[in-house]
Amino acid sequence: QRRAVSSMDTVYALSAGHPLTIVQLERSVLDAMPAGPGV
């Protein structure tokens, strides 16, 4: 579900034209989630 929400946020960010926002969202999700595999 988080991936779906993240995807939606990314789409909105792209529509808004704020690539930096996408990076911040990615980091926010990673920071919010516990240290998973591949980190």
pTM greater than 0.75 (yes/no): no
**Would you say the C-alpha torsion 30, 34, 37, 39 has a positive or negative sign?**
positive
Per residue of the chain (39 residues), give pLDDT as tens.
455 566 777 777 677 766 666 677 788 887 877 765 655
Q: Are 5 and 32 in contact (CB under 8 A)?
A: no
Q: Name the residue ranges covered by the structural domains of the chain.
A: 2-32
